[in-house]
A and B are shown apart, each in its own frame.
Chain A
């Protein structure tokens, strides 16, 4: 293996899981996410020489986001119209890890499923800032870079996204009191 490749694997591949999670929350299906991540890693490898010490994770997730947008455009050109996001319930449930977690009780699984569903019911611009902030623990500056919007927009989107998630959560609690805490 040559040095460039070794260097790439050491620097970029540690963020593969983050790239995958981000793609999963952006894409319509696990299959789409796989393709997006693979394309993103290849693009990252080709453009690796241009990486000059900026935040590697933010850099990779920016590429993931761009690959996702490209894939979306291609689907639309081919006449594939995704279901409206609001009704896409399966999407979140498909995120459930395939490996069984011995500690998770069925209640916990229910909570998980509910939350996955609520998050995936949010519009993409809300979903992505929540995922980047709360799951990937990125700061505003990095989120702004990945989502390609000004920091002020990141802040207002985050506020709206959090309020929206909370509101849906409360609504869910009214309907199914034991599904959420």
Chain B
């Protein structure tokens, strides 16, 4: 038996509803057995597909072939660009690693941000995403460059209104690369910056107030994970996979 609300329930499950409609659906499924069952089915199918389906990535040979095809394409279409190479920018060793993935991310972010103009409504989420994007612009990522938490932590004392948890999880793949002060939501928030593979993860923290903790969400391709420890709200922002982002969130929460 199918309820007339089933498409709305599905949209709710897919995170496509605004808060009011979502609340409607939640109320409705409390009394509608068919919709409760539907929600269960949806969860089951998703879990099966995400866990058990072969998640293939492009074979290295294909990648090679494509890069080669692009070379040829450039050679034919843009012979003038085959001229003298641009002078290479020589970054300091630290930046070589840190920037390997950042350039593209920043560019994407910039474009997404300035041209897409998505229907953003929540000012906190807006602020976080724009602060994250801003941080990816050259020279905005880090104010205090250090992989030592004993350097980063005290630095915050003089530069921000809060004193967040700082730790290095190099062994688990999350390298502490520094800290930054960011003006956000009316106060000077502390940002601890981690590097995970080629991705940058910004962990924002600010003093909690009466407003509830926002739900984990995805905006413009950036995942935002929220949690609260003591009187501080934390938000980790990155374009890594959810698992990887939540991994760092867990490690930080476990410190308390």
Interface residues of A (CB under 8 A from B): 1-2, 4-5, 7-11, 14, 16-17, 19-21, 24, 34, 37-38, 41-42, 45-46, 52-57, 95-98, 108, 111-112, 115-116, 119, 130, 133-135, 137, 139-140, 155-156, 158-159, 162-163, 165-166, 169, 181
Known: A17-B56, A166-B44, A169-B48. 11 other contacts (CB 8 A): A10-B107, A16-B58, A38-B62, A38-B69, A46-B77, A52-B115, A53-B114, A54-B116, A134-B46, A159-B6, A169-B45
Residues in A with CB closer than 8 Å to B57 are 17, 20-21
Q: How far is the CB of B197 from chain A (nearest CB, A)?
A: 12
Main secondary structure on chain A at its contact with chain B? helix
Residues in A with CB closer than 8 Å to B48 are 115, 169, 181
- Bound-state CA distance A17–B57 (Å) is 5
Interface residues of B (CB under 8 A from A): 6-7, 10-11, 14-16, 41-42, 44-46, 48-50, 52-59, 62-63, 65-66, 69-70, 73-74, 77-78, 81, 103-104, 107-108, 111-112, 114-116, 218, 221
Residues in B with CB closer than 8 Å to A130 are 49
Known contacts A108-B52, A130-B49; A42/B69 CB under 8 A: yes
Q: How far is the CB of A102 from chain B (nearest CB, A)?
A: 16
Residues in A with CB closer than 8 Å to B45 are 134, 162, 165-166, 169
Task: Check B14–A156 contact: CB distance below 8 A.
Answer: no
Task: Check A24–B116 contact: CB distance below 8 A.
Answer: no
Task: Check A53–B111 contact: CB distance below 8 A.
Answer: yes
Task: Check A116–B54 contact: CB distance below 8 A.
Answer: yes
Task: Check B116–A155 contact: CB distance below 8 A.
Answer: no
Considering only CB atoms, which chain A residue lies closest to B113 in the complex? Answer: A53
Considering only CB atoms, which chain B residue lies closest to A54 in the complex? Answer: B116
Considering only CB atoms, which chain A residue lies closest to B54 in the complex? Answer: A95
- Bound-state CA distance A66–B151 (Å) is 53
Considering only CB atoms, which chain B residue lies closest to A33 in the complex? Answer: B62
Residues in B with CB closer than 8 Å to A156 are 7
Task: Check B41–A162 contact: CB distance below 8 A.
Answer: yes
Task: Check A56–B108 contact: CB distance below 8 A.
Answer: yes
Residues in B with CB closer than 8 Å to A158 are 10, 14
Task: Check A116–B56 contact: CB distance below 8 A.
Answer: no
18 contacts between A and B (CB under 8 A): A19-B58, A24-B56, A37-B58, A38-B65, A42-B70, A45-B70, A53-B112, A53-B116, A54-B115, A54-B116, A112-B52, A115-B53, A119-B49, A134-B45, A134-B50, A166-B41, A169-B48, A181-B48
Considering only CB atoms, which chain A residue lies closest to B198 in the complex? Answer: A14
Q: How far is the CB of B115 from chain A (nearest CB, A)?
A: 3
Known contacts A20-B58, A115-B48; A11/B108 CB under 8 A: yes
Q: How far is the CB of A30 from chain B (nearest CB, A)?
A: 8
Considering only CB atoms, which chain A residue lies closest to B83 in the complex? Answer: A2
Residues in B with CB closer than 8 Å to A24 are 56
Q: How far is the CB of B73 from chain A (nearest CB, A)?
A: 6
Task: Check B78–A20 contact: CB distance below 8 A.
Answer: no
Task: Check A2–B10 contact: CB distance below 8 A.
Answer: no
Considering only CB atoms, which chain B residue lies closest to A24 in the complex? Answer: B56
Residues in B with CB closer than 8 Å to A134 are 45-46, 49-50
Task: Check A2–B81 contact: CB distance below 8 A.
Answer: yes
Task: Check A20–B62 contact: CB distance below 8 A.
Answer: yes
- Bound-state CA distance A96–B81 (Å) is 41
- Bound-state CA distance A77–B70 (Å) is 28
Considering only CB atoms, which chain A residue lies closest to B10 in the complex? Answer: A159
Residues in B with CB closer than 8 Å to A37 are 58, 62, 66
Residues in A with CB closer than 8 Å to B11 are 140, 155
